[in-house]
Structure 1
Amino acid sequence: MARLREFEIGEALDGVMDVFWRQGYEGASMQDIEAATGLNKQSLYRIFPDKRAMYLAALERYEATEFVKAEEVLAGPGTARARFETLFDGVIALAAAGDRRGCFLCNAAADQGQEDKQATAVVSASMRRLEKMFRKGLEVSAPYDRDQKAREERASALLAAYLGLRILTKADAPLRVIKAAAAAAIRTI
């Protein structure tokens, strides 16, 4: 078999990520992964040594692809409040469109957080990166531009609210509940 090109590996990893994101580690079978990637087990094992390696690579892929979107919004124009409204509106739009996968990192924390130290380390590092993005997103508006403690506290609270919205989405909460929770979090900025 010819070697897979880099973009094909990326496409395969997107398929792997989607399976784990929707079904969790235990719920994902190799048959599901083969179907999602269009690759057979032998080809997958040429790229990844085992299912666990696929899972960890999928978590890293999630951060690499999904965090870019959040970072663009939080570093974009406007006040801190406007930036977070845009970010939270994105969660609402996904839920309204029927995307109820939630946050892969949240799913992984619940699914494998106590089972796998490597997965926990990846999730924890990703959460710290996201919190740092939230602090940076707040820096453009008072009092967060000059009060580091206020910025850190608000970033932590907004991170909890954001992840909570993603969990509500995964739990198939009514859209009105997701919208109300988002609005309440935005009012604190």
Structure 2
Amino acid sequence: MPRRRSFEPEEALRSIMEAFWAGGYEGTSIQDLEAAAGLKKQSLYRLFGDKRGMYLAALGLYEREQFALAEAELGGEGTVRERFERLLDGVIARATEQGDRRGCLICNASVDQAALDAATGREVTAMLARLEAMFERSLAGAALFRGGPAGRRRAARKLLAGYVGLRVLVKTGLPEALLQDAKEALLEGL
């Protein structure tokens, strides 16, 4: 009879994600991951294959959680501007009110590992494309874009670049006033 697991893989993965988010790929050792997950490396390797597998799984969990949050902030009532303002206000509030200055794990991975590891590069590129598509869907129905779908795509890409940039600015610890100014500049024209 096989032994039953005495841990939840999803909880272990969440702890692994938090460790990578805090320390990056290179700055997080296997010992750090063992301590975070409360598991020995043999169990971690059995679940995820290797450290790279843990990192990619952590990125996947991050995407699921953060994209669900973004979809909730972009959903609901309000104009296009109000919905994107809600999204950007959430980023700023998590940094300034809740003290979460880790930035975005996908952004961190794009700087930290995407150029060094093809699998991470592919994942980050795909995640950013999905975020762009989410933004483009959120802009659908807005009567403000010249050039139809191409104009909406350009607006989504502008918002993507600004959103990623805001997440990077958050990580640097810049003051809230600067973050608010960046947000307002990004929302101009919506």
Structure-1 residue corresponding to 2:23: 23
Question: Distance between the aligned counterparts of 1:35 and 1:143, measured in 2?
Answer: 51
In the alignment, the residues of structure 2 paired with residue 157 and residue 188 of structure 1 have an alpha-carbon distance, to the nearest angstrom, of 11
Alignment match, 2:66? 66
Question: Where does 1:110-121 land on structure 2 (aligned, <5 Å)?
Answer: 110-121=111-122
- Partners in 2 of 1:75 and 1:145 — Cα distance? 23
Within 5 Å, which residues of 2 pair with 1:61-100? 61-96=61-96, 97-100=98-101
RMSD: 1.8
Name the counterpart of 1:148.
Answer: 149
Unaligned runs of 5+ in 2: none
Residues 108, 123 of structure 1: 8 Å contact kept:
yes
**Contact preservation (8 Å) 1:75, 1:136:** no
Measured after TM superposition, the shift of residue 72 of structure 1 is: 2.0
Pair 1:168-2:172 in alignment: no
Q: Distance in 2 between matches of 1:58 and 1:118?
A: 13
Instruction: Report which stretch shifted further, 142-151 or 119-128.
Output: 142-151
Q: CA deviation at 1:47?
A: 0.6
Distance 2:4 2:126 in 1: 32
- Given that 1:80 and 1:138 are in contact with CA atoms closer than 8 Å, whether structure 2 keeps it comes out as yes
Match of 1:51 in 2: 51
Residue 105 of structure 1 is matched in structure 2 by: 106
The superposition leaves residues 119-175 of structure 1 with CA deviations (integer Å, 9 ceiling, x where unpaired) of 000000000000000011111321249821221111110111100000001111112
- Indicate the larger mover: 140-149 or 172-181: 140-149
Please list every run of 5 or more consecutive structure 1 residues that lacks an aligned counterpart in the other structure.
none
Q: Distance in 2 between matches of 1:85 and 1:93?
A: 12
Give me the whole-angstrom Cα distance separating, in 1, the residues matched to 2:183 and 2:4.
46
Q: Percent identity?
A: 49
Partner of 2:137: 136
The alignment's TM-score, normalised by the length of structure 1, stands at 0.93
